């Protein structure tokens, strides 16, 4: 069988798209490490993680149901799914941005922390608005098997963001607030046009002029909620196990430890972003294959993907172990003693990639989302226990070790659920 060059080109575009984002994120992180004091960098991490939280909730409530429903619908109904998704994204992004800004003002007034300025709060709100919109727009492009549009947006985003940061450096105005604003405004600039005019990007064969009946729209809203309500808890647990470590470190240790732990995570960023690329590219395809009952195709793809994720993790861990001076060269002397933390983060990130691969196979119907929700409840209870234990130790590395354990636990629970579904011949694994 000859190589399908069109499919190969789209895979290549998807890989380059994620590589571009990885490079931008890594470069920004390195600039901050060099330009910001540890306390200011710690503030940036704490605020940016709030943006990641709302991105995850937006993905659970909107993107997860959308990628499940869109491949299964046809004609006017598919158009209605796109309408619901894009309009809901706009409303959600604006709503949570205002909510986060209001909560920030209350917290800043209560604590009196000099670092919590009004500008930082405005940056947080703008960052959330733009980032949620950009993430969901990217899912929209991938659902239509159009990674080229996603790449075009991300190149524009990267150029706008890097230009803004370069101007900040030249004017010596680099700060957590300014960077958060730049991220939000750059993200909004590339995403808002698509969200306001989604049907300009629909494939040529979609009947743009026919609207779905109101009753069908109400039914679709119910289907969105049916999937999304189960996905929200999973997203919340993922955030707890992946992004709450700065807050725990700030409470149990210091802002300096927040900076150390966050900087150590940077070198595992390529694995994390490749995991995100895989999820963006494959999640809608897995739903499509499930709808077509191509279950062997799903399983072979999962086996190959897990093998690649494991190989990447081992490769990066080996490089960091045998070339420990690389950390000093990249981050400077004040972050020279981070080898143990970087190795732990590499293991945790690789396991998170593998967990995401297995979890994606459960996202083809309501039963899978419900199973993930139940797994989330168990993981949430385990998170509270292991994080309390980690916070009582004198070592900040114990937090990353706890996160690694939680990834192993989730993988075990997901594999057990997949096995039971296959034994029962559930529709997703018939």
pLDDT, tens only, 312-352: 999 999 988 888 777 777 776 677 778 888 899 999 999 99
297-329 core/surface letters (b: 16 or more CB in 10 A; e: else) = ebeebbeebeeebeebbeebbeebeeebeebee
Instruction: Report the pLDDT value the prediction gives residue 254, as an integer from 0 to 100.
Output: 62
Residue 143 CA to its chain's centroid (Å): 16
Task: Judge whether 344 and 401 are in contact, CB under 8 Å.
Answer: yes
In 228-325, beta strands by DSSP E? none
User: Global pTM?
Assistant: 0.70
9: Cβ contacts below 8 Å, ≥ 6 apart: none
pLDDT tens figures, 75-120: 778 888 888 889 999 999 999 999 999 999 999 998 887 888 899 9
Q: Which residues of the chain have pLDDT under 50?
A: 1-3, 205-212, 215, 425-430
DSSP 317-353: HHHHHHTTHHHHHHH-GGG-S-HHHHHHHHHHHHHHH
* pLDDT at position 210: 47
Condensed to tens digits (0 to 9), the pLDDT of residues 345-383 reads: 999 999 999 998 988 888 766 677 778 878 888 888 888
> Which residue, 180, 31, 50, is CA-closest to 119?
180
Contact yes or no for 139/66 (Cβ under 8 A): yes
Give the model's pLDDT for residue 3: 46
Residue 202 to residue 211: CA distance in whole angstroms: 14
């Amino acid at each position: 069988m000859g190589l399908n060059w069109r499919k190969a080109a789209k895979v290549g575009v998807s890989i380059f798209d994620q590589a571009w984002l990885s490079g931008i994120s890594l470069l920004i992180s390195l600039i901050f490490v060099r330009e910001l004091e540890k306390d200011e960098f710690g503030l940036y991490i704490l605020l940016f993680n709030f943006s990641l939280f709302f991105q995850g909730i937006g993905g659970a409530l909107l993107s997860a149901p959308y990628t499940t429903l869109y491949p299964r619908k046809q004609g006017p109904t598919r158009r209605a799914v796109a309408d619901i998704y894009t309009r809901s994204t706009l409303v959600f992004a604006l709503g949570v941005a205002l909510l986060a800004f209001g909560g920030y003002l209350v917290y800043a007034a209560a604590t009196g922390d000099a670092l919590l300025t009004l500008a930082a709060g405005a940056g947080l709100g703008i960052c959330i608005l733009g980032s949620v919109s950009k993430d969901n727009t990217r899912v929209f492009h991938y659902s239509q098997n159009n990674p080229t549009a996603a790449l075009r947006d991300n190149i524009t985003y990267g150029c706008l963001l890097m230009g803004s940061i370069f101007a900040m450096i030249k004017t010596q105005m680099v700060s957590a607030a300014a960077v958060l604003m730049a991220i939000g405004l750059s993200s909004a600039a590339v995403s808002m046009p698509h969200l306001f005019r989604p049907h300009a990007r629909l494939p040529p064969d979609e009947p743009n002029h026919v609207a779905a009946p109101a009753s069908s729209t109400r039914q679709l809203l119910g289907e969105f909620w049916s999937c999304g309500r189960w996905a929200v808890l999973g997203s919340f647990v993922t955030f707890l196990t992946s992004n709450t470590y700065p807050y725990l470190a700030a409470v149990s240790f210091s802002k300096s430890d927040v900076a150390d732990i966050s900087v150590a995570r940077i070198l595992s960023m390529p694995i994390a972003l490749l995991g995100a690329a895989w999820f963006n590219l494959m999640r809608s395809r897995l739903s499509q294959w499930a709808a077509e009952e191509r279950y062997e195709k799903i399983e072979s793809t999962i086996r190959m993907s897990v093998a690649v994720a494991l190989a990447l993790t081992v490769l990066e861990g080996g490089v960091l172990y045998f070339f420990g001076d690389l950390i000093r060269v990249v981050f400077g002397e004040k972050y020279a003693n981070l080898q143990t933390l970087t190795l732990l983060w590499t293991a945790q990130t690789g396991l998170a990639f593998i967990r995401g691969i297995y979890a994606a196979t459960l996202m083809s119907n309501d039963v899978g989302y419900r199973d993930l929700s139940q797994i989330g409840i168990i993981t949430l209870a385990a998170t509270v226990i292991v994080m309390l234990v980690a916070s009582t130790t004198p070592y900040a590395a114990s937090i990353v070790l706890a996160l690694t354990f939680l990834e192993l636990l989730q993988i075990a629970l997901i594999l057990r659920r997949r096995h039971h579904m296959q034994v029962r011949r559930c529709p997703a694994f018939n």
